Structure 1
Amino acid sequence: MNPSVAIVILNWNGRRFLEQFLPSVVQTDYDNFFIVVADNASTDDSVTFVKQQYPQIRVVVNDRNYGFAEGYNEVLQQVEADYFVLLNSDVEVPPHWVTPVINLMESDAKIAAAQPKIKLYANKNSFEHAGAAGGFIDNFGYTFCRGRLFDTLEEDKGQYDSNIEVFWASGAAFFIKANFWREVGGLDGDLFAHMEEIDLCWRLKNIGYKIVCCTASEVYHVGGGTLNVGSPFKSYLNFRNNLIIMQKNLPFWEALYRVFVRLWIDLAAWFQFAFKGQWKFVFAISKAHCHFFMRFFKTAAKRKKNQLYFKQHTGFYGGSIVWNYFAKKKKIFSLLKNLNSNAI
């Protein structure tokens, strides 16, 4: 029998997405899976809807809204399977989406986590922002994807159909071996949401495991189902959490240098938003930096002995994606040089 797979969908007031996308998840053709809807204390009728319409689906209700990271931590303590799949509620899946990923992960004991291609639900020929064809990271902690640099989404023409080792896998459709999830303690609940999967992948890579993208599988993501792209709160989380994960996962002197540089780059963004009169985003960056320093010693206490420099990891880009994108006008992934990546 194939390894057991728990597809776990975290929900918070997302009845409309459950109604729209659960039918596709239920039709998954893998022969050893079950579905869990993990509810973060919704105030709509999400739980009632699932229990009435899908009695075969297990529902676990958290006592409050723990956010994405701690919400999954709470629920997965109660789930037993060989693999966990963290699936956003706003994702449509084709029937044959699980098998290729599990087959790839089973082929190498060092593969800890993986993602399929993440494509845009509204335009299924296009990659989607949250993951595309696998996640990378640059010298100063900026993340990007094969098929997506900043807001530029590429059309999928088969140019990224190779399975490769990447730096991070997308939390929109995140596959992980359950024993590795437990080994590193799951997601960091203090991050609440955004970049928590990158932190998890980074911790896995620091102890020698691989993160991959399986392009034989693809899913279709709406994106922004809980926080849209224009949300100041989303910006706050991204600016804050990016600094936190760099402090946590880099060697001390590397973290000191790169966080220092990153703060100045963030300041440039602060002035750009101020020049445009976008004061909500100015405040979001200021708040992010304040909270980063307020949590500095708490984050320092989470550091492990096995931080490794970026260059020791596949999925590292030895340059500045900001400089290449905005100054050199390199808008697509294939134009980038100095990428550290391995085919699988």
Structure 2
Amino acid sequence: MQQKLAVVILNYNGKHFLEKFLANVVSFSSPHAVIVADNASTDDSVSFLKRNFPNVQLIQNPTNTGYAGGYNEALKQIDAEYYILLNNDVDVKANWIQPLVELMDSDSKIGACQPKLLDQKNQNMFEYAGASGGYMDAYGYPFCRGRIFETVEEDKGQYNDVKQVFWASGACLMVRSKLFWQLGGFDSAYFAHMEEIDLCWRMQNLGYKIYVNPTSQVYHVGGGTLQKQNTHKTFLNFRNSLITLIKDHPSKGLFFKIWVRMNLDGIAGAKFFFTLQPQHTLAIIRAHFAFYFSIGKTLKKRKQLKTLEGYEPRFENIYNKSIVYTYFIKGKKKFNELEW
């Protein structure tokens, strides 16, 4: 018999997070199943789980295939109407699930949703990875209601309304399982970063909606600002952003936007170089070359998606301006300052 819902935590070398947060997730998710999918951790995660949480189902992936591949592999083994994909560094409190379930149950065309994401260490602040729902600008730059680039806002209740958004955060993402698999799950070529935005965009191309329900709130350790040594994150973000555009955006205006994006990426690379972070400049260059080599495969995926009944690339419910210009030139750094 299919479960109503399963909370699925993907873990890679996160024993320290499991020690800190898993007990709350188990306690406050009852009666729903909590499942940990371990992505071939090399720390003591698996033995810790077996020893301390014997009633939590453990799925052991044979290799680390990242967020996208790891979840795809694990979710194949779980039969539930809804999945809640929860990062291992997220803390929860009582009644975090029910508002999300009620929202999804209220409208069969809502494909995915998220709660409000707050900073686990500073709980009056939004959290970088998702805040109160994700948006996209005209050139495919993602930002959040409560976080634009590096400006993270204080939560004063200003974004407490249940609202349709463009993407929901992979830190705590609730999805319809049937729709997830209809679209082929996450694109495992992404490895990590941007895969939830790609999934949400594909859902919208199939006529579904994405929502945030801030009545539910969770607390994410995260860490949005890239560290200097974290050039792989830079590579993945820049590469995957371009891949997402060419896969999901309508044909009209696509190549102009790609051209604009690549020029803006060049400016970002120059900024890294002149602020003595040339390793990030090189990561952007590598990302562009990786994007060039991926175009053929990405266009095949785009063509295959269009064979789904009702699937048509759309670019709606967006900020139809440049968030780069608005933020850096006009100086508008808060979501409620944007002119729509």
Aligned twin of 1:293: 292
1:301-316 aligned within 5 A:
301-303=300-302, 304-305=305-306, 306-310=311-315, 313-314=316-317, 316=318
Give the drift of 1:287.
Answer: 0.5
Q: Which consecutive unaligned segments of at least 5 residues does structure 2 have?
A: none
Task: State whether residues 254 and 309 of structure 1, in contact with CA within 8 Å, keep that contact through their aligned partners in structure 2.
Answer: no
1:136-175 aligned within 5 A:
136-175=135-174
Distance across 2 between alignment mates of 1:251 and 1:223? 32
Aligned twin of 1:322: 324
1:75-86 aligned within 5 A:
75-86=74-85
Task: State whether residues 11 and 38 of structure 1, in contact with CA within 8 Å, keep that contact through their aligned partners in structure 2.
Answer: yes
Task: State whether residues 116 and 214 of structure 1, in contact with CA within 8 Å, keep that contact through their aligned partners in structure 2.
Answer: yes
Aligned twin of 1:273: 272
Distance across 1 between alignment mates of 2:65 and 2:214? 32
1:5-154 aligned within 5 A:
5-31=5-31, 33-154=32-153
CA offset digits 1:10-41 (Å, max 9, x no partner): 0111110111110110111553x101110111
Report percent identity of matched pairs.
48
- Counterpart residue type for residue 211 of structure 2: V
Task: State whether residues 117 and 131 of structure 1, in contact with CA within 8 Å, keep that contact through their aligned partners in structure 2.
Answer: yes
Pair 1:52–1:30, CA change in 2 (3 A): closer
SS in 2 for 1:82: strand
Distance across 1 between alignment mates of 2:13 and 2:88? 10
Aligned twin of 1:215: 214
Equivalenced residue count is 333
SS in 2 for 1:24: helix
User: Could you state the TM-score of these two structures normalised by the residue count of structure 1?
Assistant: 0.94
Task: State whether residues 205 and 314 of structure 2, in contact with CA within 8 Å, keep that contact through their aligned partners in structure 1.
Answer: no
SS in 1 for 2:232: helix
Task: State whether residues 251 and 308 of structure 1, in contact with CA within 8 Å, keep that contact through their aligned partners in structure 2.
Answer: yes
SS in 1 for 2:125: strand
Give the drift of 1:253.
Answer: 3.7
Task: State whether residues 274 and 282 of structure 1, in contact with CA within 8 Å, keep that contact through their aligned partners in structure 2.
Answer: yes
Task: State whether residues 86 and 171 of structure 2, in contact with CA within 8 Å, keep that contact through their aligned partners in structure 1.
Answer: yes
Pair 1:98–1:240, CA change in 2 (3 A): same
- Counterpart residue type for residue 337 of structure 1: E
CA offset digits 1:222-255 (Å, max 9, x no partner): 0049x95541111110000000000000123422
Give the drift of 1:3.
Answer: 6.4
Task: State whether residues 128 and 223 of structure 2, in contact with CA within 8 Å, keep that contact through their aligned partners in structure 1.
Answer: no
Distance across 2 between alignment mates of 1:309 and 1:37? 34
SS in 1 for 2:265: helix
Give the drift of 1:335.
Answer: 0.7
CA offset digits 1:175-211 (Å, max 9, x no partner): 0011111111110000000000000000000010010
SS in 1 for 2:131: coil
Distance across 1 between alignment mates of 2:77 and 2:226? 30
SS in 1 for 2:130: coil
Range 242-251 or range 271-280, more displaced = 271-280
Distance across 2 between alignment mates of 1:169 and 1:98? 15
Aligned twin of 1:341: none
User: Could you state the TM-score of these two structures normalised by the residue count of structure 2?
Assistant: 0.95
- Counterpart residue type for residue 329 of structure 1: G
Range 270-279 or range 300-309, more displaced = 300-309
SS in 2 for 1:185: coil
Give the drift of 1:307.
Answer: 4.0
Distance across 2 between alignment mates of 1:309 and 1:272? 32
Give the drift of 1:82.
Answer: 1.1
Distance across 1 between alignment mates of 2:75 and 2:165? 25
CA RMSD of aligned residues (A): 1.6
Task: State whether residues 250 and 307 of structure 1, in contact with CA within 8 Å, keep that contact through their aligned partners in structure 2.
Answer: no
Give the drift of 1:5.
Answer: 1.2
Aligned twin of 1:342: none
Q: Which consecutive unaligned segments of at least 5 residues does structure 1 have?
A: 339-344
